[in-house]
Structure 1
Amino acid sequence: MALYQLSYMSNLVKPDKAMLRTIVETARRRNKPNQITGMLLCCDGQIVQVLEGPEAAVHETFGRIASDSRHHCIVELTSFEVERRDFEGWSMGFHMPEFGRFSTPNDMEWLFKLSPEEVVKRVEPGLARSILKNFGAEASV
């Protein structure tokens, strides 16, 4: 079975911790039977997420997210086949750093100051994947 990976960025309509907890719990419950793994990073109401798994399941999951009224300004950043998973065994990793307290050497705070549309125009395609891999060590799985 070919593996597929899709990354996107969105803004949450009215972000709060309860909403994020619900989103992550629902994702974990739905993703496992669909063989979806991935990572979600939320900072100041913006989400960057990578989904990986069978292509049809990834597109179906992204379609559900895109029609979710809690999200707006949803922009697909990348989508392509991959040889192996970056987030093996994670039904959905999750990390929410405090704004301005990023723990990566490249200090990614600037990314979350851009709109999703600006990200597509100005940021290299593999950046979302790299960011999420960097935060993986701090994620709750």
Structure 2
Amino acid sequence: MAEMSRDLIETGLPDWQWHPARIGRQLRQAETCGVVAELDGGRAGFALMSFGRTDVQLILLAVRPTQRRAGIGRGLVEWLTASARVAGLFRVNLEVRDVNREARAFYAALGFEQTAQLPGYYCGREAAVRLSADLALA
């Protein structure tokens, strides 16, 4: 997961934020749920979500470029949001790089809407947008 985060999510950023130790700490937290998609014996993608008192935070989502547009990312998000509904939580939030048009279009197709602009969010140098979806409407 950490290597996929570094190579597919954190590309071009000066510091590796989601290194193996941090991923491990996150996964050991009771409120974190992780899911991995495997295809042909290899890891095709993964996602991490943190469950709060009133909503959930999609922390990380990555799908290998060769596996994209095959429904893997959608499947990961749908599995996690179904888990959120079971927990009685109906709002999911996430942050994504402002320049990542492909990811923003992916989330828009899943019903996410922009709720904030976050200048300098990534390592003080790159903007993010906060996206949210109301799971009660989905």
TM beyond 0.5? no
Higher-Rg member (1/2)? 2
- Name whichever structure is richer in helix by fraction: 1
State TM-score, norm by structure 1.
0.31
TM-score (norm 2): 0.32
Bigger share in strand: 2
